[in-house]
Amino acid sequence: MDNGSVENGFIVDLSNAKNTSQLIYELSSILDLPEARNKKICLKLGDTDLNQSQLLSIKALIDSMQGEIGLIDTASAQTKAAAENLSILVSELKNEVEVEPEHQATQEEIDTVLGIVTTVDENNEEKQENIPLTPIADFSEVAEAGGLILNGDSKYVMMDTTGILPDEQKNHEENPESLPTLYLNRTLRSGQTISYEGNIFIVGDAHPGSELIAKGDITVWGILGGIAHAGAHGNVNAKVRALKLNAIQLRIAGLYARRNDTYNVPYVQKSNEFTPEVAVLENNSIVIYKKLRRDE
Amino acid sequence: MSGRVIVITSGKGGVGKTTTSANIGTALAKAGNKVVLIDTDIGLRNLDLLLGLENRIVYTIVDVVEGRCKLKQALVKDKKNPNLSLLAAAQTRDKSAVSEEQLKDICEKLKKDNDFILVDCPAGIEQGFQNAVAGASEAIVVTTPEMSAIRDADRIIGLLAAREEIESYKLLLNRVRPNLIATNDMMSVEDVVELLACDLIGIIPEDTGIISSTNKGDPIVNDEKSLAGQAYRNVARRIMGEEVEFLNLEEDKNFIGKIKDFFEKTIKEIKAKI
């Protein structure tokens, strides 16, 4: 196995793919992401057996999506041999990210910036454990609302509510885990409001025009399109989670963010591929993480 | 300052009350007036969508009447025009959340610092209509050249005429299609005016641009090239007291029509020479 490193890399983990067609499907949906453009794609193929022509078509797919194949990580001898025949670098993937000292980034953010260098450094076991739980790709994104901007236009912008909201509300920190949870298995439609002194968990979509107001967290196992207010009594630890965060407004404690006018939500979500998103309060602004990793 | 309160109503749904409210409001504000749009369609609000202001709403008219906020806090400023603001309807309540007196009170308060208060009325003649009309002294009745819309407009005009507070009511004919009028498939403007015996304040041609403008949340009056936008701007000027001629929609002929016109004109000229 070669030693080497790839700069400006982008790791795509396909080790969970059950067959070649699923693998290619997942890969193409990931390469669609703006984050993957002009990157050296590093593929984690697990123990999938690929022959030379299959590997060649994957290479062609990456080329066609303005990418470049950096290296592949495989446990399969057949794949390894095929890659070597095509002179594709085969290596074991390790994540090494350089973090600027003044920027105290979380692990999610680190993955966001994704300056990935791969080496065959065996001492790096710790980082290896942090690999996402059910990964397709090892990426996560900070969409932001007033904080970090990755792709130019942000999805949310903070609202200036001075003079609009009363400032009597005191912020406090509370662990939402200690609160009761309302569990609903339904679609929330326009005009419907769910207000609860605890956490709200909805299996289904919350349509535009609906309202969710919770003392604790709001989690929507579906598309969130209405207004969501987590930590409505001022709990700054509250979060809003959804498979797709399209909320017209996101409110956490006393902070409000509105969806950016330039952000276009498709009339119908055609894709069945979701990247769960979570909105949290950070430094007086609502920040959205797209993530595949579970909260610690 | 004492602003004018104009209710935009129709009886029938889907004839373009909300589109008309958004466009006339925007046009009046663009002409330098201070304008407030009030959406009284509580429970089925749309005006915010047409203006692209949905994401900015914090308080609604119901919060105002129930004392959760001051009137000023509930006014949402337009993205483009600071002269224009919206008092949104609540989506999670129904028409009974607001009473006629409360709406009258809101209109009275808004009159003090605004030139125009446009009240977008819900369809129907029930509580929502009664609320919307309560504070108004003028009305614009929107209709389309269809029998059902005209029947409902007639009913509304009757109700408006019976109210002493309504000093004037005008007709706005929406979604006019000159090519269908030419082939006798649609009632002409004159027919509608005669049927309803009511003064016209505007004729708006059918315009496919309305669909995308509605979806984008950008009123069509902002599109200088659109004929419907032009027609709405003219309505705004008429409301401001200007004399503006109605658009000649017949001019909007197709290519063959234009060629026909050209030949007829040339033949006439040749005949005159001979």
A164: distance to nearest CA of chain B, Å? 5
ipTM tops the 0.90 cut: no
Identify all chain A residues contacting B54, using CB atoms and an 8 Å cutoff: 208, 248
- Residue B218 structure tokens: 């950008």
- Angle (CA) A230 A208 B107, round 5°: 95
B211 interfacial to chain A (CB closer than 8 Å): no
CATH number among 2.60.40, 1.10.260, 3.30.750, 3.30.70, domain A9-139: 3.30.750
Neighbours of A90 (CB within 10 A): 18
Q: Which of A158, A207, A227, A263 to mutate to test the interface with B (most CBs of B within 10 A)?
A: A227
Class of domain B4-273: alpha beta
Residues 60-79 of B with CB under 8 A from A: 69, 73, 79
Distance separating alpha carbons of residues B186 and A128, to the nearest angstrom: 73
Does pLDDT of A251 surpass 90?
A: yes
**Residue of chain B whose alpha carbon sits nearest to that of A251:** B58
B56 interfacial to chain A (CB closer than 8 Å): yes
- Residue B180 structure tokens: 């269908």
| Domain boundary assignment for chain A | 9-139, 156-290
The tens digit of pLDDT for each residue in B197-230 reads 999 999 999 999 999 999 999 999 999 999 999 9
Does pLDDT of A280 surpass 60?
A: yes
Is A29 strand, coil or helix?
helix
Identify all chain B residues contacting A163, using CB atoms and an 8 Å cutoff: 73
B140 membership: H or E segment, kind and range: strand B138-143
B54: distance to nearest CA of chain A, Å? 7
- Residue B268 structure tokens: 């006439």
Contact B92 A211 (CB under 8 A): yes
CATH 3.40.50.410 applies to domain A156-290? no
Share of chain B above pLDDT 90, in %: 89
Identify all chain A residues contacting B79, using CB atoms and an 8 Å cutoff: 261
Contact A261 B55 (CB under 8 A): yes
The tens digit of pLDDT for each residue in A122-138 reads 343 333 333 333 332 23
User: What pLDDT was estimated at residue A91?
Assistant: 79
Q: Is the pTM of this model over 0.90?
A: no
Q: Which amino acid is at A22?
A: Q
Q: What confidence category does residue A2 fall into, taking pLDDT thresholds of 50, 70 and 90? A: very low
Starting at the earlier edge strand, list the strands of the sheet with A156-158. Answer: A156-158, A255-259, A249-252, A227-230, A211-214, A193-196
The tens digit of pLDDT for each residue in B87-118 reads 999 999 999 999 999 999 999 999 999 999 99
Does pLDDT of B165 surpass 90?
A: yes
Distance separating alpha carbons of residues B75 and B254, to the nearest angstrom: 45
**Residue of chain B whose alpha carbon sits nearest to that of A192:** B92
| Domain boundary assignment for chain B | 4-273
